[in-house]
Structure 1
Protein backbone atom coordinates (compact mmCIF):
# COMPACT_ATOMS: atom_id res chain seq x y z
CA UNK A 1 0.00 0.00 0.00
CA UNK A 2 3.04 2.29 0.07
CA UNK A 3 2.41 3.45 -3.50
CA UNK A 4 -0.95 4.90 -2.41
CA UNK A 5 0.69 7.06 0.27
CA UNK A 6 3.38 8.21 -2.15
CA UNK A 7 0.71 9.08 -4.72
CA UNK A 8 -1.29 11.12 -2.20
CA UNK A 9 1.89 13.01 -1.24
CA UNK A 10 2.61 13.65 -4.91
CA UNK A 11 -0.92 14.85 -5.68
CA UNK A 12 -1.02 17.34 -2.81
CA UNK A 13 2.46 18.71 -3.55
CA UNK A 14 1.70 18.98 -7.26
CA UNK A 15 -1.42 21.03 -6.53
CA UNK A 16 0.68 23.49 -4.51
CA UNK A 17 3.43 23.54 -7.14
CA UNK A 18 0.85 24.39 -9.81
CA UNK A 19 -0.49 27.17 -7.59
CA UNK A 20 2.98 28.66 -7.07
CA UNK A 21 3.73 28.40 -10.79
CA UNK A 22 0.42 30.06 -11.57
CA UNK A 23 1.44 32.97 -9.34
CA UNK A 24 4.89 33.18 -10.94
CA UNK A 25 3.42 33.11 -14.45
CA UNK A 26 1.86 36.52 -13.82
CA UNK A 27 5.29 38.12 -13.38
CA UNK A 28 7.83 35.80 -15.08
CA UNK A 29 8.00 34.41 -18.63
CA UNK A 30 7.32 30.76 -19.48
CA UNK A 31 11.02 29.80 -19.41
CA UNK A 32 11.40 31.35 -15.95
CA UNK A 33 8.36 29.60 -14.50
CA UNK A 34 9.59 26.30 -15.96
CA UNK A 35 13.08 26.81 -14.51
CA UNK A 36 11.59 27.65 -11.10
CA UNK A 37 10.30 24.10 -10.89
CA UNK A 38 13.80 22.64 -11.05
CA UNK A 39 16.36 25.24 -9.92
CA UNK A 40 16.36 24.30 -6.20
CA UNK A 41 15.08 20.74 -6.70
CA UNK A 42 18.51 19.19 -7.36
CA UNK A 43 19.94 19.95 -3.87
CA UNK A 44 16.75 18.57 -2.29
CA UNK A 45 17.02 15.40 -4.41
CA UNK A 46 20.67 14.97 -3.36
CA UNK A 47 19.74 15.31 0.33
CA UNK A 48 16.97 12.73 -0.11
CA UNK A 49 19.29 10.23 -1.85
CA UNK A 50 22.04 10.66 0.76
CA UNK A 51 19.49 10.13 3.52
CA UNK A 52 18.39 6.87 1.87
CA UNK A 53 21.99 5.61 1.73
CA UNK A 54 22.51 6.50 5.40
CA UNK A 55 19.31 4.64 6.28
CA UNK A 56 20.06 1.63 4.03
CA UNK A 57 23.53 1.45 2.42
CA UNK A 58 23.52 -0.25 -0.99
CA UNK A 59 25.73 -0.24 -4.07
CA UNK A 60 25.86 2.35 -6.83
CA UNK A 61 23.65 1.90 -9.91
CA UNK A 62 24.91 0.30 -13.12
CA UNK A 63 24.00 2.70 -15.93
CA UNK A 64 23.01 1.09 -19.24
CA UNK A 65 22.31 2.71 -22.61
CA UNK A 66 18.63 1.79 -22.35
CA UNK A 67 18.39 3.43 -18.93
CA UNK A 68 20.13 6.56 -20.22
CA UNK A 69 17.70 6.90 -23.13
CA UNK A 70 14.69 6.67 -20.80
CA UNK A 71 16.15 9.25 -18.41
CA UNK A 72 17.09 11.71 -21.16
CA UNK A 73 13.71 11.31 -22.83
CA UNK A 74 11.82 11.82 -19.58
CA UNK A 75 13.88 14.90 -18.72
CA UNK A 76 13.31 16.57 -22.09
CA UNK A 77 9.59 15.77 -22.37
CA UNK A 78 8.85 16.94 -18.83
CA UNK A 79 10.36 20.35 -19.61
CA UNK A 80 8.07 20.56 -22.64
CA UNK A 81 5.08 19.49 -20.54
CA UNK A 82 5.79 22.11 -17.88
CA UNK A 83 6.11 24.87 -20.49
CA UNK A 84 2.79 23.82 -22.06
CA UNK A 85 1.11 23.83 -18.65
CA UNK A 86 2.35 27.36 -17.93
CA UNK A 87 0.93 28.46 -21.27
CA UNK A 88 -2.39 26.90 -20.20
CA UNK A 89 -2.31 28.99 -17.03
CA UNK A 90 -1.88 32.12 -19.14
CA UNK A 91 -4.85 31.18 -21.33
CA UNK A 92 -7.33 30.38 -18.56
CA UNK A 93 -7.66 30.42 -14.78
CA UNK A 94 -5.64 28.17 -12.47
CA UNK A 95 -8.21 25.43 -11.82
CA UNK A 96 -9.12 25.04 -15.49
CA UNK A 97 -5.47 24.96 -16.60
CA UNK A 98 -4.63 22.28 -14.04
CA UNK A 99 -7.73 20.31 -15.01
CA UNK A 100 -6.79 20.26 -18.69
CA UNK A 101 -3.25 19.19 -17.81
CA UNK A 102 -4.75 16.23 -15.93
CA UNK A 103 -5.62 14.57 -19.22
CA UNK A 104 -2.21 13.02 -18.44
CA UNK A 105 -3.89 10.18 -16.54
CA UNK A 106 -6.12 9.28 -19.46
CA UNK A 107 -3.32 9.45 -22.02
CA UNK A 108 -1.07 7.36 -19.75
CA UNK A 109 -3.73 4.65 -19.67
CA UNK A 110 -4.06 4.64 -23.47
CA UNK A 111 -0.31 4.68 -24.15
CA UNK A 112 0.23 2.08 -21.44
CA UNK A 113 -2.19 -0.30 -23.14
CA UNK A 114 -0.81 0.33 -26.64
CA UNK A 115 2.93 0.33 -25.96
CA UNK A 116 3.77 -0.73 -22.39
CA UNK A 117 1.77 -3.94 -21.89
CA UNK A 118 -0.84 -2.50 -19.51
CA UNK A 119 -4.31 -4.07 -19.53
CA UNK A 120 -7.52 -2.09 -19.10
CA UNK A 121 -10.95 -3.69 -18.64
CA UNK A 122 -14.23 -2.38 -20.06
CA UNK A 123 -14.75 -0.41 -16.84
CA UNK A 124 -11.34 1.15 -17.33
CA UNK A 125 -12.17 2.26 -20.86
CA UNK A 126 -15.44 3.78 -19.59
CA UNK A 127 -13.31 5.79 -17.16
CA UNK A 128 -11.13 6.99 -20.03
CA UNK A 129 -14.24 8.05 -21.98
CA UNK A 130 -15.72 9.95 -19.00
CA UNK A 131 -12.45 11.76 -18.44
CA UNK A 132 -12.25 12.74 -22.11
CA UNK A 133 -15.71 14.31 -21.90
CA UNK A 134 -14.60 16.25 -18.83
CA UNK A 135 -11.52 17.61 -20.59
CA UNK A 136 -13.57 18.81 -23.56
CA UNK A 137 -16.24 20.28 -21.30
CA UNK A 138 -13.70 22.33 -19.36
CA UNK A 139 -12.40 23.77 -22.63
CA UNK A 140 -15.79 25.26 -23.47
CA UNK A 141 -15.49 28.90 -22.46
CA UNK A 142 -19.08 29.82 -23.36
CA UNK A 143 -20.79 26.57 -24.18
CA UNK A 144 -20.23 23.74 -26.63
CA UNK A 145 -20.90 25.95 -29.68
CA UNK A 146 -17.89 28.08 -28.82
CA UNK A 147 -15.55 25.23 -27.92
CA UNK A 148 -11.92 26.38 -27.88
CA UNK A 149 -10.10 23.83 -30.00
CA UNK A 150 -6.72 25.46 -29.33
CA UNK A 151 -7.17 25.11 -25.56
CA UNK A 152 -8.24 21.48 -25.89
CA UNK A 153 -5.30 20.60 -28.12
CA UNK A 154 -2.85 22.41 -25.84
CA UNK A 155 -4.27 20.59 -22.82
CA UNK A 156 -4.04 17.20 -24.54
CA UNK A 157 -0.48 17.96 -25.70
CA UNK A 158 0.46 18.87 -22.13
CA UNK A 159 -1.15 15.72 -20.77
CA UNK A 160 0.55 13.55 -23.40
CA UNK A 161 3.97 15.00 -22.57
CA UNK A 162 3.44 14.38 -18.84
CA UNK A 163 2.19 10.85 -19.58
CA UNK A 164 5.30 10.00 -21.61
CA UNK A 165 7.44 11.40 -18.81
CA UNK A 166 5.77 9.10 -16.29
CA UNK A 167 5.96 6.01 -18.48
CA UNK A 168 9.65 6.54 -19.24
CA UNK A 169 10.44 7.27 -15.59
CA UNK A 170 8.93 3.94 -14.59
CA UNK A 171 10.85 2.10 -17.31
CA UNK A 172 14.09 3.78 -16.20
CA UNK A 173 13.46 2.79 -12.58
CA UNK A 174 12.76 -0.82 -13.53
CA UNK A 175 16.08 -0.92 -15.39
CA UNK A 176 18.12 -0.24 -12.23
CA UNK A 177 19.26 -3.20 -10.15
CA UNK A 178 18.70 -1.49 -6.79
CA UNK A 179 16.09 -1.67 -3.99
CA UNK A 180 12.86 0.28 -4.49
CA UNK A 181 13.49 3.61 -2.79
CA UNK A 182 17.05 3.93 -4.05
CA UNK A 183 16.31 3.29 -7.72
CA UNK A 184 13.47 5.83 -7.65
CA UNK A 185 15.74 8.39 -5.96
CA UNK A 186 18.53 7.88 -8.51
CA UNK A 187 16.13 8.36 -11.42
CA UNK A 188 14.76 11.48 -9.73
CA UNK A 189 18.20 13.00 -9.17
CA UNK A 190 19.43 12.29 -12.70
CA UNK A 191 16.27 13.58 -14.39
CA UNK A 192 16.17 16.77 -12.31
CA UNK A 193 19.91 17.41 -12.75
CA UNK A 194 19.64 17.12 -16.53
CA UNK A 195 16.59 19.40 -16.60
CA UNK A 196 18.20 22.04 -14.41
CA UNK A 197 21.37 22.04 -16.52
CA UNK A 198 19.43 22.31 -19.80
CA UNK A 199 17.27 25.18 -18.56
CA UNK A 200 20.16 27.10 -17.00
CA UNK A 201 22.14 26.89 -20.25
CA UNK A 202 19.08 28.05 -22.21
CA UNK A 203 18.47 30.94 -19.81
CA UNK A 204 22.13 32.04 -19.84
CA UNK A 205 22.50 31.88 -23.63
CA UNK A 206 19.05 32.98 -24.81
CA UNK A 207 17.45 35.05 -22.07
CA UNK A 208 19.51 36.14 -19.05
CA UNK A 209 16.52 38.09 -17.74
CA UNK A 210 14.91 34.75 -16.90
CA UNK A 211 17.34 34.07 -14.06
CA UNK A 212 17.16 37.67 -12.86
CA UNK A 213 13.38 37.40 -12.67
CA UNK A 214 13.62 34.36 -10.40
CA UNK A 215 16.30 35.91 -8.20
CA UNK A 216 13.98 38.85 -7.61
CA UNK A 217 11.34 36.43 -6.31
CA UNK A 218 13.38 34.06 -4.10
CA UNK A 219 10.57 32.94 -1.79
CA UNK A 220 8.12 31.99 -4.52
CA UNK A 221 10.90 30.31 -6.53
CA UNK A 222 12.00 28.24 -3.52
CA UNK A 223 8.40 27.24 -2.74
CA UNK A 224 7.88 26.16 -6.34
CA UNK A 225 11.07 24.07 -6.41
CA UNK A 226 10.42 22.49 -3.01
CA UNK A 227 6.84 21.52 -3.79
CA UNK A 228 7.94 20.21 -7.18
CA UNK A 229 10.73 18.04 -5.76
CA UNK A 230 8.58 16.62 -2.95
CA UNK A 231 5.88 15.86 -5.50
CA UNK A 232 8.42 14.18 -7.78
CA UNK A 233 9.67 12.03 -4.89
CA UNK A 234 6.08 10.87 -4.45
CA UNK A 235 5.46 10.25 -8.16
CA UNK A 236 8.79 8.54 -8.88
CA UNK A 237 8.46 6.30 -5.82
CA UNK A 238 4.85 5.35 -6.56
CA UNK A 239 5.63 4.60 -10.20
CA UNK A 240 8.52 2.36 -9.14
CA UNK A 241 6.00 0.24 -7.24
CA UNK A 242 2.89 0.36 -9.43
CA UNK A 243 1.96 0.76 -13.11
CA UNK A 244 1.65 4.36 -14.30
CA UNK A 245 -2.08 4.34 -15.23
CA UNK A 246 -3.03 3.25 -11.72
CA UNK A 247 -0.76 5.80 -10.06
CA UNK A 248 -1.95 8.63 -12.26
CA UNK A 249 -5.62 7.79 -11.91
CA UNK A 250 -5.37 7.73 -8.13
CA UNK A 251 -3.37 10.94 -8.43
CA UNK A 252 -6.48 12.60 -9.80
CA UNK A 253 -7.38 13.43 -6.19
CA UNK A 254 -5.16 16.41 -6.96
CA UNK A 255 -8.22 18.06 -8.53
CA UNK A 256 -9.78 18.49 -5.10
CA UNK A 257 -6.61 20.05 -3.68
CA UNK A 258 -6.60 22.27 -6.77
CA UNK A 259 -10.16 23.42 -6.17
CA UNK A 260 -9.43 24.25 -2.55
CA UNK A 261 -6.27 26.18 -3.40
CA UNK A 262 -7.89 28.00 -6.32
CA UNK A 263 -10.89 29.02 -4.24
CA UNK A 264 -9.37 29.91 -0.87
CA UNK A 265 -5.80 30.98 -1.69
CA UNK A 266 -5.73 32.26 -5.28
CA UNK A 267 -9.29 33.62 -5.02
CA UNK A 268 -10.11 32.30 -8.49
CA UNK A 269 -13.75 32.20 -9.48
CA UNK A 270 -14.37 28.58 -10.37
CA UNK A 271 -17.55 28.12 -12.38
CA UNK A 272 -19.98 25.28 -11.70
CA UNK A 273 -19.11 23.86 -15.14
CA UNK A 274 -15.42 23.77 -14.23
CA UNK A 275 -16.16 22.08 -10.92
CA UNK A 276 -18.31 19.48 -12.67
CA UNK A 277 -15.51 18.83 -15.13
CA UNK A 278 -13.01 18.28 -12.32
CA UNK A 279 -15.47 15.94 -10.56
CA UNK A 280 -15.94 13.94 -13.77
CA UNK A 281 -12.17 13.58 -14.08
CA UNK A 282 -12.12 12.22 -10.52
CA UNK A 283 -14.93 9.80 -11.40
CA UNK A 284 -12.90 8.63 -14.40
CA UNK A 285 -9.95 8.05 -12.11
CA UNK A 286 -12.05 5.92 -9.77
CA UNK A 287 -13.44 3.85 -12.64
CA UNK A 288 -9.97 3.16 -14.02
CA UNK A 289 -8.71 2.29 -10.54
CA UNK A 290 -11.55 -0.16 -9.91
CA UNK A 291 -10.89 -1.82 -13.23
Structure 2
Protein backbone atom coordinates (compact mmCIF):
# COMPACT_ATOMS: atom_id res chain seq x y z
CA UNK A 1 0.00 0.00 0.00
CA UNK A 2 2.77 2.48 0.89
CA UNK A 3 4.42 1.84 -2.48
CA UNK A 4 1.24 2.64 -4.43
CA UNK A 5 0.59 5.75 -2.33
CA UNK A 6 4.17 6.94 -2.88
CA UNK A 7 3.92 6.48 -6.64
CA UNK A 8 0.68 8.49 -6.65
CA UNK A 9 2.35 11.20 -4.58
CA UNK A 10 5.40 11.37 -6.86
CA UNK A 11 3.27 11.63 -9.99
CA UNK A 12 1.08 14.41 -8.59
CA UNK A 13 4.05 16.28 -7.12
CA UNK A 14 5.76 16.33 -10.51
CA UNK A 15 2.72 18.06 -11.98
CA UNK A 16 2.46 20.43 -9.00
CA UNK A 17 6.08 21.45 -9.50
CA UNK A 18 5.43 22.01 -13.21
CA UNK A 19 2.42 24.22 -12.48
CA UNK A 20 4.39 26.14 -9.85
CA UNK A 21 7.27 26.59 -12.27
CA UNK A 22 4.89 28.17 -14.78
CA UNK A 23 3.24 30.34 -12.13
CA UNK A 24 6.60 31.55 -10.79
CA UNK A 25 7.19 33.40 -14.08
CA UNK A 26 4.32 35.77 -13.29
CA UNK A 27 3.73 35.65 -9.51
CA UNK A 28 5.94 36.30 -6.48
CA UNK A 29 7.48 33.53 -4.37
CA UNK A 30 4.84 34.01 -1.64
CA UNK A 31 2.05 33.84 -4.20
CA UNK A 32 3.34 30.66 -5.82
CA UNK A 33 3.70 29.14 -2.34
CA UNK A 34 0.10 30.07 -1.47
CA UNK A 35 -1.13 28.58 -4.75
CA UNK A 36 -0.05 25.20 -3.39
CA UNK A 37 -2.45 25.47 -0.44
CA UNK A 38 -5.28 27.91 -1.19
CA UNK A 39 -7.72 25.40 -2.74
CA UNK A 40 -6.17 22.34 -1.12
CA UNK A 41 -7.97 22.90 2.21
CA UNK A 42 -11.49 22.27 0.86
CA UNK A 43 -10.25 19.21 -1.04
CA UNK A 44 -8.62 17.83 2.13
CA UNK A 45 -11.85 18.47 4.08
CA UNK A 46 -13.94 16.61 1.50
CA UNK A 47 -11.46 13.72 1.62
CA UNK A 48 -11.69 13.52 5.43
CA UNK A 49 -15.50 13.64 5.38
CA UNK A 50 -15.51 10.88 2.78
CA UNK A 51 -13.35 8.68 5.02
CA UNK A 52 -15.77 9.16 7.93
CA UNK A 53 -18.75 8.34 5.74
CA UNK A 54 -16.94 5.14 4.81
CA UNK A 55 -15.84 4.32 8.37
CA UNK A 56 -16.58 6.44 11.45
CA UNK A 57 -13.67 5.96 13.87
CA UNK A 58 -14.51 8.89 16.15
CA UNK A 59 -12.68 12.17 16.72
CA UNK A 60 -9.06 11.70 17.85
CA UNK A 61 -7.43 13.31 20.88
CA UNK A 62 -5.35 16.30 19.79
CA UNK A 63 -2.50 16.50 22.29
CA UNK A 64 -0.03 19.35 22.75
CA UNK A 65 2.64 17.17 21.18
CA UNK A 66 0.45 16.71 18.10
CA UNK A 67 -0.07 20.48 17.79
CA UNK A 68 3.67 21.06 18.13
CA UNK A 69 4.44 18.70 15.26
CA UNK A 70 1.71 20.34 13.15
CA UNK A 71 3.14 23.82 13.75
CA UNK A 72 6.66 22.68 12.90
CA UNK A 73 5.64 20.78 9.78
CA UNK A 74 3.52 23.67 8.51
CA UNK A 75 6.32 26.20 8.92
CA UNK A 76 8.94 23.97 7.32
CA UNK A 77 6.75 23.17 4.30
CA UNK A 78 6.09 26.86 3.65
CA UNK A 79 9.83 27.54 3.85
CA UNK A 80 10.68 24.56 1.64
CA UNK A 81 8.16 25.58 -1.02
CA UNK A 82 9.51 29.13 -1.10
CA UNK A 83 13.08 27.84 -1.47
CA UNK A 84 12.02 25.53 -4.30
CA UNK A 85 10.47 28.47 -6.17
CA UNK A 86 13.82 30.27 -5.81
CA UNK A 87 15.49 27.20 -7.31
CA UNK A 88 13.13 27.39 -10.29
CA UNK A 89 14.35 30.93 -10.89
CA UNK A 90 18.00 29.82 -10.89
CA UNK A 91 17.89 26.52 -12.79
CA UNK A 92 15.51 24.90 -15.23
CA UNK A 93 12.50 22.96 -13.98
CA UNK A 94 13.97 19.45 -13.87
CA UNK A 95 17.26 20.57 -12.28
CA UNK A 96 15.65 22.88 -9.71
CA UNK A 97 13.27 20.24 -8.43
CA UNK A 98 16.06 17.66 -8.55
CA UNK A 99 18.25 19.62 -6.13
CA UNK A 100 15.43 19.66 -3.59
CA UNK A 101 15.35 15.84 -3.65
CA UNK A 102 18.33 15.75 -1.29
CA UNK A 103 15.42 15.40 1.13
CA UNK A 104 15.65 11.59 1.24
CA UNK A 105 19.26 11.51 2.44
CA UNK A 106 18.68 14.31 4.96
CA UNK A 107 15.56 12.57 6.27
CA UNK A 108 17.55 9.35 6.76
CA UNK A 109 20.25 11.15 8.75
CA UNK A 110 17.90 13.27 10.87
CA UNK A 111 15.49 10.36 11.34
CA UNK A 112 18.22 8.07 12.59
CA UNK A 113 19.77 10.67 14.93
CA UNK A 114 16.66 12.36 16.36
CA UNK A 115 13.54 10.29 15.58
CA UNK A 116 14.59 6.70 16.26
CA UNK A 117 14.30 5.63 12.63
CA UNK A 118 16.03 2.32 11.90
CA UNK A 119 17.33 1.57 8.41
CA UNK A 120 18.84 -1.72 7.33
CA UNK A 121 22.12 -1.80 5.36
CA UNK A 122 20.06 -2.46 2.23
CA UNK A 123 17.83 0.51 3.03
CA UNK A 124 20.85 2.79 3.57
CA UNK A 125 22.27 1.62 0.24
CA UNK A 126 19.08 2.61 -1.54
CA UNK A 127 18.87 6.01 0.16
CA UNK A 128 22.52 6.89 -0.56
CA UNK A 129 22.35 5.62 -4.14
CA UNK A 130 19.31 7.79 -4.75
CA UNK A 131 21.15 10.78 -3.28
CA UNK A 132 24.12 10.25 -5.60
CA UNK A 133 21.77 10.02 -8.59
CA UNK A 134 20.03 13.28 -7.73
CA UNK A 135 23.35 15.04 -7.18
CA UNK A 136 24.67 13.91 -10.58
CA UNK A 137 21.49 15.05 -12.32
CA UNK A 138 21.63 18.46 -10.66
CA UNK A 139 24.83 19.52 -12.45
CA UNK A 140 24.28 21.18 -15.82
CA UNK A 141 27.81 21.01 -17.18
CA UNK A 142 29.36 18.67 -14.63
CA UNK A 143 29.94 19.21 -10.90
CA UNK A 144 31.92 22.43 -11.40
CA UNK A 145 28.93 24.14 -12.99
CA UNK A 146 26.92 24.12 -9.76
CA UNK A 147 27.14 27.46 -7.96
CA UNK A 148 27.57 27.43 -4.20
CA UNK A 149 24.43 29.54 -3.81
CA UNK A 150 22.32 27.06 -5.77
CA UNK A 151 23.71 24.09 -3.83
CA UNK A 152 23.03 25.78 -0.47
CA UNK A 153 19.45 26.68 -1.45
CA UNK A 154 18.92 23.13 -2.69
CA UNK A 155 20.22 21.60 0.55
CA UNK A 156 18.18 24.03 2.65
CA UNK A 157 15.10 23.14 0.62
CA UNK A 158 15.74 19.41 1.01
CA UNK A 159 16.32 19.78 4.76
CA UNK A 160 13.09 21.75 5.17
CA UNK A 161 11.13 19.12 3.25
CA UNK A 162 12.79 16.37 5.31
CA UNK A 163 11.78 17.99 8.61
CA UNK A 164 8.26 18.47 7.25
CA UNK A 165 8.00 14.76 6.44
CA UNK A 166 9.46 13.60 9.76
CA UNK A 167 7.15 15.83 11.79
CA UNK A 168 4.13 14.84 9.68
CA UNK A 169 4.82 11.17 10.46
CA UNK A 170 5.24 11.92 14.18
CA UNK A 171 1.98 13.90 14.21
CA UNK A 172 0.15 11.01 12.55
CA UNK A 173 1.54 8.53 15.08
CA UNK A 174 0.33 10.78 17.94
CA UNK A 175 -3.33 10.23 17.05
CA UNK A 176 -5.27 7.37 18.63
CA UNK A 177 -7.00 6.38 15.38
CA UNK A 178 -5.65 4.23 12.58
CA UNK A 179 -4.74 4.68 8.95
CA UNK A 180 -5.95 6.43 6.80
CA UNK A 181 -7.93 8.73 9.10
CA UNK A 182 -4.89 9.84 11.11
CA UNK A 183 -3.05 10.99 7.96
CA UNK A 184 -6.17 12.81 6.73
CA UNK A 185 -6.48 14.77 10.00
CA UNK A 186 -2.81 15.78 9.83
CA UNK A 187 -3.24 16.88 6.22
CA UNK A 188 -6.27 19.04 7.02
CA UNK A 189 -4.56 20.70 10.01
CA UNK A 190 -1.35 21.42 8.11
CA UNK A 191 -2.99 22.81 4.98
CA UNK A 192 -5.48 24.94 6.93
CA UNK A 193 -2.76 26.50 9.07
CA UNK A 194 -0.53 27.18 6.06
CA UNK A 195 -3.37 28.82 4.14
CA UNK A 196 -4.29 31.01 7.12
CA UNK A 197 -0.68 32.16 7.64
CA UNK A 198 0.01 32.93 3.98
CA UNK A 199 -3.29 34.68 3.27
CA UNK A 200 -2.88 36.81 6.41
CA UNK A 201 0.66 37.75 5.40
CA UNK A 202 -0.32 38.72 1.86
CA UNK A 203 -3.35 40.72 3.05
CA UNK A 204 -1.03 42.76 5.25
CA UNK A 205 2.03 43.01 3.01
CA UNK A 206 1.21 42.23 -0.61
CA UNK A 207 -2.42 42.37 -1.72
CA UNK A 208 -1.33 42.61 -5.35
CA UNK A 209 -0.10 39.00 -5.19
CA UNK A 210 -3.55 37.82 -4.10
CA UNK A 211 -4.98 39.72 -7.06
CA UNK A 212 -2.44 38.06 -9.36
CA UNK A 213 -3.55 34.60 -8.20
CA UNK A 214 -7.20 35.59 -8.63
CA UNK A 215 -6.42 36.57 -12.23
CA UNK A 216 -4.91 33.12 -12.89
CA UNK A 217 -7.65 30.84 -11.53
CA UNK A 218 -6.96 27.81 -13.73
CA UNK A 219 -3.24 27.55 -12.96
CA UNK A 220 -3.85 28.26 -9.26
CA UNK A 221 -6.55 25.57 -9.04
CA UNK A 222 -4.38 23.05 -10.89
CA UNK A 223 -1.48 23.74 -8.52
CA UNK A 224 -3.65 23.32 -5.42
CA UNK A 225 -5.36 20.17 -6.69
CA UNK A 226 -2.12 18.45 -7.69
CA UNK A 227 -0.56 19.49 -4.38
CA UNK A 228 -3.43 18.15 -2.27
CA UNK A 229 -3.61 14.82 -4.10
CA UNK A 230 0.15 14.49 -3.78
CA UNK A 231 -0.01 15.32 -0.07
CA UNK A 232 -2.70 12.68 0.48
CA UNK A 233 -0.29 10.17 -1.02
CA UNK A 234 2.76 11.41 0.94
CA UNK A 235 1.01 11.76 4.31
CA UNK A 236 -0.67 8.38 3.99
CA UNK A 237 2.51 6.58 2.89
CA UNK A 238 4.55 8.16 5.70
CA UNK A 239 2.02 7.01 8.27
CA UNK A 240 2.68 3.43 7.09
CA UNK A 241 6.43 3.43 6.40
CA UNK A 242 9.62 5.19 7.57
CA UNK A 243 10.19 8.54 5.87
CA UNK A 244 13.59 7.74 4.24
CA UNK A 245 12.12 4.72 2.43
CA UNK A 246 9.10 6.69 1.24
CA UNK A 247 11.20 9.61 0.03
CA UNK A 248 13.76 7.41 -1.69
CA UNK A 249 11.06 5.61 -3.65
CA UNK A 250 9.48 9.03 -4.23
CA UNK A 251 12.52 10.00 -6.28
CA UNK A 252 10.83 8.24 -9.21
CA UNK A 253 9.19 11.66 -9.44
CA UNK A 254 12.26 12.61 -11.49
CA UNK A 255 11.04 10.26 -14.25
CA UNK A 256 7.76 12.16 -14.35
CA UNK A 257 9.51 15.55 -14.11
CA UNK A 258 11.72 14.82 -17.10
CA UNK A 259 8.74 13.71 -19.18
CA UNK A 260 6.82 16.86 -18.21
CA UNK A 261 9.84 19.12 -18.78
CA UNK A 262 10.46 17.60 -22.21
CA UNK A 263 6.95 17.28 -23.63
CA UNK A 264 4.98 20.03 -21.83
CA UNK A 265 7.46 22.72 -20.80
CA UNK A 266 9.62 22.10 -23.89
CA UNK A 267 12.85 22.16 -21.89
CA UNK A 268 15.96 20.30 -23.00
CA UNK A 269 17.09 17.42 -20.82
CA UNK A 270 20.60 16.05 -21.30
CA UNK A 271 21.33 12.48 -22.26
CA UNK A 272 23.61 12.16 -19.21
CA UNK A 273 20.47 12.30 -17.06
CA UNK A 274 19.76 8.74 -18.16
CA UNK A 275 22.54 7.52 -15.84
CA UNK A 276 20.85 9.30 -12.96
CA UNK A 277 17.52 7.73 -13.87
CA UNK A 278 19.08 4.26 -13.86
CA UNK A 279 20.57 4.89 -10.40
CA UNK A 280 17.22 6.17 -9.10
CA UNK A 281 15.53 3.02 -10.42
CA UNK A 282 18.11 0.90 -8.61
CA UNK A 283 17.59 2.87 -5.39
CA UNK A 284 13.81 2.42 -5.64
CA UNK A 285 14.23 -1.34 -6.14
CA UNK A 286 16.49 -1.56 -3.05
CA UNK A 287 14.04 0.21 -0.71
CA UNK A 288 11.04 -1.74 -2.05
CA UNK A 289 12.96 -5.02 -1.73
CA UNK A 290 13.99 -4.15 1.82
Q: TM-score range by the shorter chain?
A: over 0.9
Q: Does 1:183 align with 2:190?
A: no
**Unmatched 5+ residue regions in structure 1?**
none
Alignment of 1:252-263 (within 5 A): 252-263=251-262
Quick check: 2:123–2:245 contact (8 Å CA) kept in 1?
no
* Residue in structure 1 matched with residue 26 of structure 2 by the alignment: 27
1:58 deviation in Å?
2.1
Quick check: 1:105–1:249 contact (8 Å CA) kept in 2?
yes
Relative to structure 1, the CA distance from residue 207 to residue 275 in structure 2 (aligned partners, 3 Å threshold; closer, same or farther) is farther
* Residue in structure 2 matched with residue 196 of structure 1 by the alignment: 195
Quick check: 1:104–1:159 contact (8 Å CA) kept in 2?
yes
Cα displacement string for residues 60-109 of structure 1 (whole angstroms, at most 9, x for unaligned residues): 12111100000010000000000011111111111111111111112111
Q: TM-score, normalised by structure 1?
A: 0.94
* Residue in structure 1 matched with residue 99 of structure 2 by the alignment: 100
* Range moving further from structure 2, 105-114 or 67-76: 105-114
* Residue in structure 2 matched with residue 109 of structure 1 by the alignment: 108
1:278 deviation in Å?
4.4
1: CA distance, partners of 2:238 / 2:201:
30
* Residue in structure 2 matched with residue 119 of structure 1 by the alignment: 118
Q: Compute the RMSD of aligned alpha carbons.
A: 1.6
Cα displacement string for residues 161-189 of structure 1 (whole angstroms, at most 9, x for unaligned residues): 11110110000000001121111111000
* Residue in structure 1 matched with residue 79 of structure 2 by the alignment: 80
Aligned residue for 2:180, secondary structure, equals helix
Relative to structure 1, the CA distance from residue 220 to residue 49 in structure 2 (aligned partners, 3 Å threshold; closer, same or farther) is same
1: CA distance, partners of 2:101 / 2:144:
23
Quick check: 1:35–1:196 contact (8 Å CA) kept in 2?
yes
Quick check: 1:11–1:251 contact (8 Å CA) kept in 2?
yes
2: CA distance, partners of 1:256 / 1:66:
37
1:289 deviation in Å?
4.2
1: CA distance, partners of 2:154 / 2:273:
14
2: CA distance, partners of 1:216 / 1:111:
41
1:153 deviation in Å?
1.5
Alignment of 1:1-291 (within 5 A): 2-291=1-290
Aligned residues: 290
Relative to structure 1, the CA distance from residue 215 to residue 115 in structure 2 (aligned partners, 3 Å threshold; closer, same or farther) is same
Q: TM-score, normalised by structure 2?
A: 0.95
1: CA distance, partners of 2:122 / 2:3:
21
Quick check: 2:252–2:280 contact (8 Å CA) kept in 1?
no
